[in-house]
C-alpha cells in the first residue's frame, strides 16, 4: 500500500508512484480536476475525487479477469450488471505518456480506467504495465444504492456530503470564477524554472513535483477558459520537455543504483502441449473441409472490428492463393472480442504447379566446346533437373538457359523443412540436395534414431529406382531423426513410446502453420500496442482457435498456442467453449449466446429497438454511424428502454442529441460533450413530428437483470443532463453580446494576443474582403454585425466544456437574444469547415467570415514562427489552409490570395514583411508548381523537393543552359516513335552510318556489363532523384 501523494495530480496516472516507478503498488489517491468543478451539484462529478490505483507489472495475462473477480470481491453481482470495456485511448501530451485501454462501464456509468502503458516521458516501456484505476465514489454509490455522492455513508451517522460538500463548493468557486489568471501565469513560469534547476542538480523526484505543479496550474488556467487552441500546444510543449527530462534522469538514477527492485527478463519460449498436437496428427483431413481461424482478443475498438475482420479475410485469401490451396467461399466476421474467418471446402493438398526458371547466360553455362560449366551444374543441382532438360531462350540481346520445374504438391500438414534447416545449422549437420528440397542429413547414435535410420536404409533400396516416391519419403525420415534428437536434447527420456508420440507431434509441420503467424501479423491498426512481446496489435490477443475440419492447425503467435478452445461471454457460468470441428463453429457460438456476424447484430438492435420505441408511441432515431459503433461494442445485443425527466427537454436539442452534421466524423465525438450518442451510446426516441421524447434506448451485452441495468443507465443519463443544464443555465444569465469582452481572457497566441484581439482584426478586414469578393449592400452590413459577435461563444460555459459545439451554440444564443437568422447563420458558418468532408458556408456573410478568420490565423501564425513540418502541425495550419481553399473553390469565389494575405498582414500586432506572406505559400511560383505536378503528382515528397529546387534553379544561371541542352534533341525526336532502346547514329564522311557509342565504349563508360544492366532507366531515375542530380548529369 502506498500513501497519498502530496501534490495535485489531475488523475492518479500522473503521480510519481505510477509515472516514475510503475512499480507494482496499490494505493488510494485523491485526484484534483478543476474542470470537473460543479459546486457539489452533479451527482457523479467532483473536482476532488478518490481513486484506488493498481499497477500490474508485467501484465499477468489475465488482468481483465482479475478485475471482474475484484468487483465480485467488493460485493457486486457481476451477473446482474452490464459490465463493458469501452475504448479509451489514454494519453497525456504533458507527460509524453500514452497507453491503450478502456473505460469500464457498469450499467452505463464509468467506474474504472484500464490502461496498458506504452510510453512515459516519451520513453518506450518494457515490460508493459497494466494500470487499473477504480473510481471509489462511483463504486460506493453502486454498492450503497444511492443516486448522489453526497448521500454516500462515509462512516456510521456521517455522509460524504457532510464531510466534503463545502470543500467542493469553495474550490469550485475558486477554479471557475475567482482564480487570478495573471498570478497563475507567473506561478507556471516559476514552477517550470524550479523544475529545470532541480533537473540540473540530478533530482528527478523533486523536479517531477514541480512538473505536477505546472500541470495543475495549467488545468486551473484551462478551467478559467484562458487557454486557446493554439496556446494549448505551446503549454503542452513546455511541460512535455520537462517530463521527458524527468524520465531520462529517473532511468539513469535507477541504473546507477543497480535496479534494486530487479529487472525484466523475456518469458520462456512456449512449449506446445503434447496432447493438442497429437490430436492434430490423428485428425488430418484427407478431403476438402472447412477452415476456421478465430483470433480472440480483449475488447477491440468498434472501428477496428470491421476494418480488421476485412483485413483478416484479405490476407487469408492471399495466403491460400500463394500456397496454391484451392477453396470455396471465404467469410469474415468480427465482435469486440474476436476476429473470425471461415474458408469453405479447403483442400488439404496444394495444387501442383510448373514454373519456368531462368538460369545463367549461355556464355557462362557452357564453355567454347559446349561442355557444361560449374554454373550449369549448380543450376541443375539447385532445381533438381537433368542437364539435358535445359533449353535456351533470348531475353533482349542476351541468351539464357531455362528449365521447367514442377513445384510439388505439399500437404497442408507435412514436415517442416525450415525446422530441419534450423536444427541442422544448430547441430552442424552436412547439407545435401535431394530433388526439390534442401535438407540436412544428421546421424546420431541413440537407440530410437538407429532404428529409424535402419528402416530408411531398407526403404531406400526399394525406392531408389522411383525418384518421385523417394523424394517424398526421404525428408520425412530426416525430419523425424532431427526432431527426435531435439527432443532428447531438450527433454531427455528413455521411453520409446513417449518419443514416438512426440515424433508424431513434431512431424506435423504445415503449409498453413508456417505462414499463419506472419499472415496475422500483417493486420494493421490506426493505433497498436504491445503487451507481453514485441507483437503489435490493437488490443492483447488472449487465444487463437485454428481448425481445418477436425484437426487443429498448430502454430504459435504472440506467445499463444493455437487450439480448439474459444471463450464465451464474461458473465456466463462457463466461459470456455470447445469447438470439435470447423463446421460446427457457428452453431457452437450461437449456443454460447454470441452473434459473430456484424450485420446480424445490427438487425437485432434495429428490430428490438423499433419494437421498444413503438411501445411508447415513438420512433427510434437510428443513425448509421452510431448503429455501427454500438453493434461492435457488444457480442449479444440486448436493447432496453429507459426514461428521463421531461424538464430536460427544455434544453437545446443539440445538447441532448448529437447534431446530424457531426455524425459523419466520429473523431469529433471524443471531444464533444453532448450526451446521448457520444457519451452514452444511446438511441434517442422522437414522436412522428421529430420532436424528442423523454425516452432512450441503451444496448446491453448478454444476460442481465434488466431492471438493474435500466435503473443504472437512467441515473447516468440524468447526471449527464444535469451537467448540461448546469452550464446552460450559467450562460443564460447573461446576454450573448456580453461574452464578447470575455474573449479577452482567452489567449490565442503569446505573440498574437487574445481571442478578442484576433476577432477585432477579423472585424477590421471583413468589409474589404467582402468588397474583393464583389459583395455589397445589405450583405456587408450583415457581415459587419456578425463580426462583432463572432466566436463569442468560446467564452460560454457550454462551449468551454463541450468544445465541438462552438458555432452551434453561437447560433442558438444569437437567435435566443433576438438577432436575425442571417446573422445567427453567419455566426455558425464562420467555423466551417471543421474537418474533411464537413459542410461549407452557404451564405455570403458566413463565407466572408470564414475566409477572414482563416486568413488571420495563417498570416499571424506563420509570422509568429509556428510553421508546420513534414511530420508535425500542432497549430493545424494545413487544415486551415485546406479549409480556406475549399471554401473558395466549392463556393465559386475568385479572390486574389496575395492581396487578401496582405490585408490580413496589415492588422497583425507585429511587423509583417513580405517574407512572411511568401512563407504561407512557400514562395513557389504557380508555373513551377504546375510543371512539377504534371510529371510528379504521384510522388508527393519528391514533387515537393523538386518544386523547391526548380524554384531555386529558375533564379540562377543553370536552368537556361539545361533547357537549351534539352531543346535540340527534343525538336529532333518530336513526332517520332522513340523507345528507350534507340541508337544514336551519325553519318561518316563517306555516308556510312556509325554507332555513336558502341558496346565496348558503353561498358568502359559504365564499368562493366553487369553495372550497365543494373543502371536505373530514365523513368526510374525520374521517380527516385530530385532535379539537382539530373541537371548535374546533363
Which CATH number is 126's domain given? Answer: 3.30.930.10
Spell 959-998 as b/e; 16+ CB within 10 A means b.
Answer: eeeeeeeeeeeeeeeeeeeeeeeeeeeeeeeeeeeeeeee
Q: How far apart, in Å, are the Cα atoms of 370 and each of 360, 373, 385?
A: 15, 9, 19
Q: How far apart, in Å, are the Cα atoms of 215 and each of 88, 567, 758, 859?
A: 21, 43, 27, 30
> Is the pLDDT confidence value at 190 over 90?
yes
User: Are both 725 and 602 inside the same structural domain?
Assistant: yes
Question: Residue 813 falls within a domain, yes or no?
Answer: no
pLDDT grade for 1029, boundaries at 50, 70 and 90: very low
User: Are both 905 and 1026 inside the same structural domain?
Assistant: no
Structural domain of 755? 751-790+818-923
Mean pLDDT of 584-592: 94
d(Cα 696, Cα 108) in Å, to the nearest integer?
Answer: 13
The three-class DSSP label of residue 1028 is helix
Query: Which one has a higher pLDDT value, 230 or 57?
Result: 57
What is the predicted pLDDT for the residue at 998?
44
Spell 929-939 as b/e; 16+ CB within 10 A means b.
Answer: beebeeebeee
In contact, 692 and 684? CB cutoff 8 Å? yes
> Is the pLDDT confidence value at 846 over 50?
yes
Question: Residue 800 falls within a domain, yes or no?
Answer: no
> Is the pLDDT confidence value at 933 over 80?
no
CB-facing half-sphere around the CA of 359: CA atoms within 13 A: 30
* Phi and psi, residue 400, nearest 5°: -120, 160
Domain boundary among 923, 940, 960: 923
User: Are both 396 and 421 inside the same structural domain?
Assistant: no
User: Are both 324 and 301 inside the same structural domain?
Assistant: yes
Mean pLDDT of 84-89: 90
Question: Residue 563 falls within a domain, yes or no?
Answer: yes
Which H helix or E strand runs over 512?
helix 511-521
pLDDT in tens, 623-647: 888 999 999 999 999 999 999 999 9
Question: Residue 71 falls within a domain, yes or no?
Answer: yes
Instruction: Return the closest-CA partner of residue 117 out of 96, 137, 100, 138.
Output: 100
d(Cα 558, Cα 554) in Å, to the nearest integer?
Answer: 14
Gyration radius (Cα) of the chain, Å: 36
Query: Which one has a higher pLDDT value, 573 or 354?
Result: 354
What is the predicted pLDDT for the residue at 915?
59
In contact, 996 and 984? CB cutoff 8 Å? yes
Question: Residue 38 falls within a domain, yes or no?
Answer: yes
pLDDT in tens, 90-109: 877 777 788 999 999 999 99
> Is the pLDDT confidence value at 173 over 80?
yes
Strand partners, 272: none
Q: Is 681 left (phi over 0), alpha (psi -120 to 50) or beta?
A: left
* Alpha helices, DSSP H, located in 464-495: 467-490
d(Cα 203, Cα 207) in Å, to the nearest integer?
Answer: 6
pLDDT grade for 408, boundaries at 50, 70 and 90: low
What is the predicted pLDDT for the residue at 242?
92
What is the predicted pLDDT for the residue at 396?
85
Domain boundary among 591, 621, 645: 591
Alpha-carbon torsion (4, 5, 11, 17), positive or negative? negative
The three-class DSSP label of residue 345 is strand
* Cis before 833 (ω within 30): yes
Count of all residues that appear for the chain in the document: 1034
Least confident piece of the model among 223-232, 754-763, 994-1003: 994-1003
pLDDT in tens, 727-774: 899 899 999 999 999 998 888 888 888 899 999 999 999 999 999 998
In contact, 946 and 936? CB cutoff 8 Å? yes
Query: Which one has a higher pLDDT value, 14 or 363?
Result: 363
Query: Which one has a higher pLDDT value, 541 or 234?
Result: 541
Question: Residue 233 falls within a domain, yes or no?
Answer: yes
Name residues whose C-beta falls within 8 Å of residue 877's C-beta, 6 or more positions apart in sequence. Answer: 857, 858, 861, 862, 866, 867, 868
Q: Is 75 left (phi over 0), alpha (psi -120 to 50) or beta?
A: left
d(Cα 983, Cα 993) in Å, to the nearest integer?
Answer: 11
**DSSP secondary structure, 397-434, as one string:** TEEEEEEEEEEP--BSEE--HHHHHHHHHHHTPEEEEE
> Is the pLDDT confidence value at 790 over 60?
yes
Mean pLDDT of 874-898: 85
Question: Residue 69 falls within a domain, yes or no?
Answer: yes
What is the predicted pLDDT for the residue at 536?
92
What is the predicted pLDDT for the residue at 82?
94
pLDDT in tens, 374-384: 999 999 988 88
In contact, 140 and 46? CB cutoff 8 Å? no
pLDDT in tens, 792-837: 999 998 888 888 888 999 999 999 999 999 999 999 999 998 887 7
10 Å Cβ neighbour count for 266?
A: 10
* Phi and psi, residue 449, nearest 5°: -70, -35
Q: How far apart, in Å, are the Cα atoms of 803 and each of 668, 673, 716, 851?
A: 10, 7, 21, 21
**DSSP secondary structure, 108-128, as one string:** TEEEEEEEEEEEETTEE-SS-
Instruction: Return the closest-CA partner of residue 607 out of 706, 689, 683.
Output: 683
d(Cα 994, Cα 988) in Å, to the nearest integer?
Answer: 7
And the C-alpha cell for 350? 496444394
Question: Residue 1 falls within a domain, yes or no?
Answer: no
- The 3-state DSSP composition of the chain as helix, strand, coil percent (nearest 5) reads 50, 20, 35
What are the DSSP E strand ranges found in 899-1013?
Answer: 985-987, 993-995
User: Are both 158 and 35 inside the same structural domain?
Assistant: yes
What is the predicted pLDDT for the residue at 401?
94
Least confident piece of the model among 422-436, 493-507, 575-589: 422-436
Least confident piece of the model among 50-64, 483-497, 538-552: 483-497
> Is the pLDDT confidence value at 573 over 70?
no
d(Cα 262, Cα 242) in Å, to the nearest integer?
Answer: 27
In contact, 575 and 581? CB cutoff 8 Å? no
User: Are both 892 and 933 inside the same structural domain?
Assistant: no
In contact, 216 and 254? CB cutoff 8 Å? no
User: Are both 396 and 523 inside the same structural domain?
Assistant: no
In contact, 594 and 569? CB cutoff 8 Å? yes
And the C-alpha cell for 69? 473477480
d(Cα 152, Cα 404) in Å, to the nearest integer?
Answer: 82
Query: Which one has a higher pLDDT value, 257 or 95?
Result: 257
pLDDT grade for 440, boundaries at 50, 70 and 90: very low
Most confident of 458-462, 563-567, 888-892, 994-998: 563-567
DSSP 356: E
User: Are both 111 and 235 inside the same structural domain?
Assistant: yes
Query: Which one has a higher pLDDT value, 513 or 681?
Result: 681
User: Are both 775 and 908 inside the same structural domain?
Assistant: yes
Q: What's the number of domains the chain is made of? A: 7
What is the predicted pLDDT for the residue at 225?
78
User: Are both 128 and 251 inside the same structural domain?
Assistant: yes
Instruction: Return the closest-CA partner of residue 792 out of 825, 744, 840.
Output: 744
> Is the pLDDT confidence value at 975 over 70?
no
Number of helices followed by number of strands (H, E) in the chain: 37, 34
In contact, 786 and 845? CB cutoff 8 Å? yes
In contact, 366 and 373? CB cutoff 8 Å? yes
pLDDT in tens, 691-709: 889 999 999 999 899 999 9
Name residues whose C-beta falls within 8 Å of residue 7's C-beta, 6 or more positions apart in sequence. Answer: 15, 209, 212, 213, 216
In contact, 161 and 138? CB cutoff 8 Å? no
DSSP 679: I
User: Are both 884 and 942 inside the same structural domain?
Assistant: no
What is the predicted pLDDT for the residue at 276?
54
User: Are both 231 and 123 inside the same structural domain?
Assistant: yes
* Alpha helices, DSSP H, located in 732-843: 755-772, 778-787, 797-801, 808-816, 821-829
What is the predicted pLDDT for the residue at 452?
45
> Is the pLDDT confidence value at 474 over 70?
no
Give the percent of the chain with pLDDT over 90.
40
Q: What is the mean pLDDT of the chain?
A: 78
> Is the pLDDT confidence value at 614 over 50?
yes
Instruction: Return the closest-CA partner of residue 807 out of 972, 938, 672.
Output: 672
- C-alpha 876 chain-centroid distance: 20
Query: Which one has a higher pLDDT value, 254 or 673?
Result: 254
Domain boundary among 591, 616, 632: 591
What are the DSSP E strand ranges found in 876-996?
Answer: 985-987, 993-995
Mean pLDDT of 43-55: 87
Query: Which one has a higher pLDDT value, 477 or 864?
Result: 864
Instruction: Return the closest-CA partner of residue 866 out of 908, 902, 906.
Output: 908
Give the percent of the chain with pLDDT over 70.
75
Amino acid at each position: 500500500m502506498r500513501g497519498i501523494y502530496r501534490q495535485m495530480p489531475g488523475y492518479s496516472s500522473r503521480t510519481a508512484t505510477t509515472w516514475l516507478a510503475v512499480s507494482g503498488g496499490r494505493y488510494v489517491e485523491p485526484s484534483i480536476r478543476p474542470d470537473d468543478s460543479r459546486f457539489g451539484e452533479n451527482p457523479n462529478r467532483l473536482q476532488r475525487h478518490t481513486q484506488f490505483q493498481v499497477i500490474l507489472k508485467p501484465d499477468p495475462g489475465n488482468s481483465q479477469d482479475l478485475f471482474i473477480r475484484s468487483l465480485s470481491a467488493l460485493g457486486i453481482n457481476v451477473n446482474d450488471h452490464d459490465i463493458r470495456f469501452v475504448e479509451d485511448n489514454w494519453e497525456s501530451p504533458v507527460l509524453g505518456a500514452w497507453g491503450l485501454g478502456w473505460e469500464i462501464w457498469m450499467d452505463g456509468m464509468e467506474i474504472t480506467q484500464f490502461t496498458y502503458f506504452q510510453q512515459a516521458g516519451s520513453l518506450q516501456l518494457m515490460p508493459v504495465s497494466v494500470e487499473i484505476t477504480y473510481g471509489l465514489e462511483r463504486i460506493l454509490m453502486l454498492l450503497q444504492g444511492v443516486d448522489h455522492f453526497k448521500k454516500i455513508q462515509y462512516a456510521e451517522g456521517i455522509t460524504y456530503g457532510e464531510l466534503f460538500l463545502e470543500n467542493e463548493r469553495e474550490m469550485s468557486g475558486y477554479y471557475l470564477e475567482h482564480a487570478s489568471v495573471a498570478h497563475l501565469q507567473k506561478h507556471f513560469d516559476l514552477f517550470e524554472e524550479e523544475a529545470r534547476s532541480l533537473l540540473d542538480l540530478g533530482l528527478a523526484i523533486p523536479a517531477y513535483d514541480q512538473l505536477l505543479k505546472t500541470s495543475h496550474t495549467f488545468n486551473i488556467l484551462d478551467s478559467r477558459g484562458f487557454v486557446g487552441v493554439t496556446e494549448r500546444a505551446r503549454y503542452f510543449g513546455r511541460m512535455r520537455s520537462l517530463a521527458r527530462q524527468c524520465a531520462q534522469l529517473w532511468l539513469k538514477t535507477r541504473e546507477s543504483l543497480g535496479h534494486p527492485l530487479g529487472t525484466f527478463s523475456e518469458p520462456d519460449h512456449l512449449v506446445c502441449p503434447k496432447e493438442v498436437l497429437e490430436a492434430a496428427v490423428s485428425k488430418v483431413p484427407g478431403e476438402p473441409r472447412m477452415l476456421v481461424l478465430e483470433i480472440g482478443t480483449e475488447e477491440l475498438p468498434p472501428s477496428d472490428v470491421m476494418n480488421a475482420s476485412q483485413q483478416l479475410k484479405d490476407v487469408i485469401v492471399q495466403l491460400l492463393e500463394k500456397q496454391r490451396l484451392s477453396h470455396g467461399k471465404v467469410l469474415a466476421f468480427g465482435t469486440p472480442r474476436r476476429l473470425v474467418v471461415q474458408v469453405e471446402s479447403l483442400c488439404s493438398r496444394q495444387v501442383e504447379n510448373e514454373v519456368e526458371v531462368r538460369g545463367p547466360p549461355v556464355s557462362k553455362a557452357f564453355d567454347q566446346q559446349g561442355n557444361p560449366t560449374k554454373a550449369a551444374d549448380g543450376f541443375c543441382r539447385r532445381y533438381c533437373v537433368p542437364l539435358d532438360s535445359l533449353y535456351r531462350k533470348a531475353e533482349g540481346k542476351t541468351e539464357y538457359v531455362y528449365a521447367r520445374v514442377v513445384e510439388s504438391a505439399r500437404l497442408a500438414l507435412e514436415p517442416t523443412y525450415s525446422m530441419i534447416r534450423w536444427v541442422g545449422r544448430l547441430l552442424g549437420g552436412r547439407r545435401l540436395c535431394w530433388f526439390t528440397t534442401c535438407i540436412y542429413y544428421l546421424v546420431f547414435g541413440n537407440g530410437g534414431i538407429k532404428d529409424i535410420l535402419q528402416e530408411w536404409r531398407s526403404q531406400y533400396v526399394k525406392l531408389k529406382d522411383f525418384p518421385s516416391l523417394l523424394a517424398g519419403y526421404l525428408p520425412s525420415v530426416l525430419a523425424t531423426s532431427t526432431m527426435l534428437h531435439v527432443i532428447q536434447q531438450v527433454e531427455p527420456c528413455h521411453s520409446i513410446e513417449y518419443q514416438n508420440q512426440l515424433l508424431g507431434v513434431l512431424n506435423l509441420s504445415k503449409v498453413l502453420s508456417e505462414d499463419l503467424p506472419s499472415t496475422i501479423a500483417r493486420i494493421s491498426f490506426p493505433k497498436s500496442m504491445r503487451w507481453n512481446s514485441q507483437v503489435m496489435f490493437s488490443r492483447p490477443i488472449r487465444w487463437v482457435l485454428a481448425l481445418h475440419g477436425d484437426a487443429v492447425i498448430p502454430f504459435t503467435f504472440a506467445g499463444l498456442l493455437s487450439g480448439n478452445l474459444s471463450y464465451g461471454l464474461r458473465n456466463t457460468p462457463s466461459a470456455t467453449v470447445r469447438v470439435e470441428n470447423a463446421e460446427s463453429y457457428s452453431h457452437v457460438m450461437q449456443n454460447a449466446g454470441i452473434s459473430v456476424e456484424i450485420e446480424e447484430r445490427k438487425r437485432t438492435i434495429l428490430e428490438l429497438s423499433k419494437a421498444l420505441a413503438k411501445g411508447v408511441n415513438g420512433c427510434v432515431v437510428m443513425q448509421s454511424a452510431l448503429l455501427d459503433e454500438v453493434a461492435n461494442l457488444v457480442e449479444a445485443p440486448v436493447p432496453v428502454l429507459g426514461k428521463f425527466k421531461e424538464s430536460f427537454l427544455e434544453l437545446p436539442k443539440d445538447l441532448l442529441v448529437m447534431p446530424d452534421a457531426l455524425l459523419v466524423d466520429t473523431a469529433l465525438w471524443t471531444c464533444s460533450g453532448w450526451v446521448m450518442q457520444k457519451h452514452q451510446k444511446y438511441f434517442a426516441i422522437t414522436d412522428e413530428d421529430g420532436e424528442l421524447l423523454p425516452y432512450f434506448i441503451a444496448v446491453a451485452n448478454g444476460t442481465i437483470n434488466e431492471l438493474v441495468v435500466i435503473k443504472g443507465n437512467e441515473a447516468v443519463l440524468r447526471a449527464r443532463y444535469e451537467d448540461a443544464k448546469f452550464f446552460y443555465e450559467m450562460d443564460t444569465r447573461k446576454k450573448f453580446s456580453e461574452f464578447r469582452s470575455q474573449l479577452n481572457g482567452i489567449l490565442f497566441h503569446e505573440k498574437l494576443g487574445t481571442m478578442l484581439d484576433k476577432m477585432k482584426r477579423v472585424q477590421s478586414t471583413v468589409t474589404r474582403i467582402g468588397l474583393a469578393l464583389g459583395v455589397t449592400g445589405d450583405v456587408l452590413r450583415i457581415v459587419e454585425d456578425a463580426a462583432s459577435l463572432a466566436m463569442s461563444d468560446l467564452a460560454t460555459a457550454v462551449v468551454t466544456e463541450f468544445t465541438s459545439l462552438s458555432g452551434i451554440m453561437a447560433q442558438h444564443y444569437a437567435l435566443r437574444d433576438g438577432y436575425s437568422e442571417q446573422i445567427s447563420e453567419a455566426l455558425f458558418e464562420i467555423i466551417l469547415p471543421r474537418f474533411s468532408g464537413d459542410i461549407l458556408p452557404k451564405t455570403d456573410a458566413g463565407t466572408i467570415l470564414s475566409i477572414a478568420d482563416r486568413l488571420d490565423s495563417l498570416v499571424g501564425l506563420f509570422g509568429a514562427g509556428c510553421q508546420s513540418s513534414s511530420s508535425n502541425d500542432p497549430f493545424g495550419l494545413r487544415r486551415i489552409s485546406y479549409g480556406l481553399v475549399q471554401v473558395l473553390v466549392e463556393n465559386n469565389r475568385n479572390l486574389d490570395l496575395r492581396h487578401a494575405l496582405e490585408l490580413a498582414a496589415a492588422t497583425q500586432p507585429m511587423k509583417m514583411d513580405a517574407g512572411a506572406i511568401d512563407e504561407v505559400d512557400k514562395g513557389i511560383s504557380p508555373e513551377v508548381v504546375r510543371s512539377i505536378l504534371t510529371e510528379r503528382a504521384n510522388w508527393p515528397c519528391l514533387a515537393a523537393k523538386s518544386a523547391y529546387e526548380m524554384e531555386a534553379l529558375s533564379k540562377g544561371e543553370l536552368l537556361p543552359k539545361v533547357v537549351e541542352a534539352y531543346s535540340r534533341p527534343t525538336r529532333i525526336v518530336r513526332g517520332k516513335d522513340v523507345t528507350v532502346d534507340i541508337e544514336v547514329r551519325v553519318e561518316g564522311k563517306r555516308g556510312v552510318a556509325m554507332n555513336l557509342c558502341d558496346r565496348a565504349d558503353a561498358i568502359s563508360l559504365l564499368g562493366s556489363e553487369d553495372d550497365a544492366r543494373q543502371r536505373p532507366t530514365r523513368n526510374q531515375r525520374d521517380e527516385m532523384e530530385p532535379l539537382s542530380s539530373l541537371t548535374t548529369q546533363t
